[in-house]
Structure 1
Amino acid sequence: MKAVALDRFGGVDELSLRRLPLPEVGDDDVLIQVEFAGVASWDAVERKGDYDGVFGPSVFPYVLGWDAAGTVAAKGRDVTRFDLGERVYATTIPAPRGGFYAEYAVVEAEFVARVPDRLPTEQAGAMAWDALTALSGLDLLGLRPDETLMVFGASGGIGHQAVQLARHSGIRVLAVASGDDGVALARRLGADAVIDGRKDDVPAAAFEFAPGGLDGALVTVGGEIAERALRAIKSSGRIACPSGLLPAPVTSPGATMSYYDGDRSPTATDRLNAIIEASSFEVHVARTFPMERIKDAHRALNDHYVGKLALEVG
């Protein structure tokens, strides 16, 4: 199969397209013929070697890619939930069995889900980890309909999906986005109010949106502006931050701050799919790159863009 792989960790130039053997399919596995894979900021972190040994032994050639969508090419003898040829999306951790920057990838069946009929495969391929992380963050906050939420980083991968999931639950959303295009995206996706975190006075806008203070915040981007913005959260409120948030906060806000990991269980994907089928949910894919341009895709991670980047594999 064709795959993008590393022979050692390092810069963009370590990525190369080559032929690799098909992965072995265990009894509880699904072999996915990949059509689209997500390209995310953590892929670059992993490429550099910062996750070396964190999730298991690093086996070279090393194939990146944490989420993807395609069709079921084969399945283990204990897998009964999926049919051959069915459209699916999946989450994985590339170490040690390899990720989704390849024509085929093997994933434990519990981390595979059917693609909702109304969702294009390209969007599904770039969706899973971000959407499930957004959904888990909202679960942690536990906000009720008409309560107020600030999504900080609302035009990013996690953030623009969190805006839609929160609005589906009836939560009032203040979106802090990046750039005119980010503001336009968050507004189009249904945020009740949108501001540009690069230009606007975020705390002032937050208190205008919720004079008594916001009930909660989902923070996907760290830094000084985020820390100032969190002063607008009620002391009785909650703040959710995905694990690995960078830069990490220096000062503690008055509200309770919790770090968490995304739930990728069948229960979580079933809930996500139900929301997608019942709403106008979309994954905004800013750019899609062919496998031959994987280096350009990783360079683009350092550029300004909104939503997600994707790799076209199939």
Structure 2
Amino acid sequence: MKAMTINGHGGVENFAMALVPIPQIKDDEVLVRTKAISINPADTIVRSNKEVSWVFGSDQPLIPGWDISGEVVGVGARVTDFKMGDQVFGALRHPYIGRTYAEYVAAPASELAHKPADIGHQQAAASTLAALTALQPIQKIGIQAGDRVLVTAAGGGVGHFAVQFAKYFGAHVIALASKSKKDFVTSLGADEFVDYQQGRFEHRIADVDLVVEAVKQDGHIHRTMQVVKPGGSLISLWSHVSKEEKAEADRLNVKAFYNMVLSNGQDMKLIAKLLSEAKLVPHVAATYPLEAMADAHREIEKGHTQGKIVVSFE
């Protein structure tokens, strides 16, 4: 099978197309013929940063990727939820690597869900790791109807899902993004829009119950913390809360924490349900073939993607 590998950690010049054996599945796995995958900012980190090479384990060659949508073409002996021909999607093995930049993938059955029939593979692949990244901490904190929720980077891959999940759980959503994304985030259900480029947003937002912090920028957590009311919460999706930030959170009586997303088939089933009910709508900003993986990574590294970038195998 064809797979996009990396010869070492660094720039996109380290990508190399390779012919590798189709993986053998374990009893609790299914073999998926890949139809589409999606690319996350985290993909670019594991490609470029040798310090996170542990995510690959000892497997060779190095095949990146977590997100997948495709067709089951092999079923392990202990798998009961899926059969040959099923259309499935999920984010695999996170925080370890899922090896999805390939035509066939060995996938833990417990991390997949059935793809809704009326959702295409590209949309399904887009609704995996980024959607889980938004959903899991929101479920952990809980949202009460009418809670004021601020979503930063609201037009991005994770942010545009966070807006929709917060609305689904009954929140009043404040979206922080650039002016160019205003129409997009309001179409997702945001009740208020704040342009971060027009002055200090923390002077224009107050009394927030929950911040979903999707911005990776030094000092940003400190700024968003200022808008949370006492007793409220801040979820950092990108980085651990530092000692200094934790001390500031304690002073403000704010619960601030980092949440690492984990592959989870039960959560994927909820995502599938919301997709089928059109209560969750992924936005695919651009689609590339596998051979153009370097271009897909270059695009996402610009940091301004609206929604998700997808790689199609069809």
TM-score by length of 2: 0.90
* Aligned residue number for residue 260 of structure 2: 261
Deviations 1:137-171 (A, max 9, x none): 21122120111100111111111001111111111
* Aligned residue number for residue 206 of structure 1: 205
**Residue 247 to residue 235, structure 1, CA distance change in 2 (3 Å):** closer
Q: Distance in 2 between matches of 1:205 and 1:101?
A: 43
**Residue 113 to residue 18, structure 1, CA distance change in 2 (3 Å):** same
* Aligned residue number for residue 45 of structure 1: 45
**Residue 58 to residue 297, structure 1, CA distance change in 2 (3 Å):** farther
**Residue 104 to residue 268, structure 1, CA distance change in 2 (3 Å):** same
**Residue 225 to residue 91, structure 1, CA distance change in 2 (3 Å):** closer
The secondary structure found in structure 1 opposite 2:7 is coil
* Aligned residue number for residue 176 of structure 1: 176
* Aligned residue number for residue 230 of structure 1: 225
Q: Which moved more, 1:21-30 or 1:190-199?
A: 190-199
The secondary structure found in structure 2 opposite 1:52 is helix
Q: Distance in 1 between matches of 2:139 and 2:111?
A: 19
How many pairs does the alignment contain? Answer: 306
Q: Distance in 1 between matches of 2:95 and 2:6?
A: 12
The amino acid of 2:152's aligned partner reads F
* Aligned residue number for residue 194 of structure 1: 193
Q: Which runs of 5+ in 1 are unaligned?
A: 208-212
* Aligned residue number for residue 69 of structure 1: 69
Q: Is 2:35–2:121's contact at 8 Å kept on the other side of the alignment?
A: yes
Q: Is 1:71–1:88's contact at 8 Å kept on the other side of the alignment?
A: yes
What is the identity percentage for the equivalent residue pairs of Structure 1 and Structure 2? 27
Q: Which moved more, 1:114-123 or 1:65-74?
A: 114-123
The secondary structure found in structure 1 opposite 2:151 is strand
**Residue 97 to residue 194, structure 1, CA distance change in 2 (3 Å):** closer
Q: Is 1:101–1:313's contact at 8 Å kept on the other side of the alignment?
A: no
Q: Is 1:8–1:60's contact at 8 Å kept on the other side of the alignment?
A: no
* Aligned residue number for residue 210 of structure 2: 216
Q: Is 1:240–1:259's contact at 8 Å kept on the other side of the alignment?
A: yes
The amino acid of 2:224's aligned partner reads A
Q: Is 1:31–1:72's contact at 8 Å kept on the other side of the alignment?
A: yes
**Residue 4 to residue 246, structure 1, CA distance change in 2 (3 Å):** farther
What displacement does 1:200 show?
4.4
Q: Is 1:215–1:237's contact at 8 Å kept on the other side of the alignment?
A: yes
TM-score by length of 1: 0.90
Deviations 1:35-69 (A, max 9, x none): 1111111111111223112x362433111111110
Q: Is 2:94–2:261's contact at 8 Å kept on the other side of the alignment?
A: no
What displacement does 1:260 show?
1.5
Q: Is 1:59–1:96's contact at 8 Å kept on the other side of the alignment?
A: no
Q: Is 1:102–1:313's contact at 8 Å kept on the other side of the alignment?
A: no
The secondary structure found in structure 2 opposite 1:118 is coil
Q: Is 2:65–2:97's contact at 8 Å kept on the other side of the alignment?
A: no
**Residue 159 to residue 56, structure 1, CA distance change in 2 (3 Å):** same
Q: Distance in 1 between matches of 2:240 and 2:197?
A: 17
The amino acid of 2:147's aligned partner reads E
Moved over 4 A (4+): 94-98, 246-250
Q: Is 1:23–1:105's contact at 8 Å kept on the other side of the alignment?
A: yes
Q: Which moved more, 1:43-52 or 1:104-113?
A: 43-52
**Counterparts of residues 42-191 of structure 1 (less than 5 Å):** 42-48=42-48, 49-53=50-54, 55=55, 57-93=57-93, 99-180=99-180, 182-191=181-190
Q: Is 2:44–2:301's contact at 8 Å kept on the other side of the alignment?
A: no
What displacement does 1:95 show?
8.9
* Aligned residue number for residue 210 of structure 1: none
The amino acid of 2:184's aligned partner reads L
The amino acid of 1:51's aligned partner reads V
Deviations 1:209-242 (A, max 9, x none): xxxx111111111333453232010121011112
**Residue 2 to residue 219, structure 1, CA distance change in 2 (3 Å):** same
Q: Is 2:29–2:106's contact at 8 Å kept on the other side of the alignment?
A: yes
The secondary structure found in structure 2 opposite 1:227 is helix
RMSD: 2.1
Q: Distance in 2 between matches of 1:286 and 1:72?
A: 27
Q: Is 2:241–2:257's contact at 8 Å kept on the other side of the alignment?
A: no
Q: Is 1:7–1:60's contact at 8 Å kept on the other side of the alignment?
A: no
* Aligned residue number for residue 9 of structure 1: 9
The amino acid of 2:45's aligned partner reads V
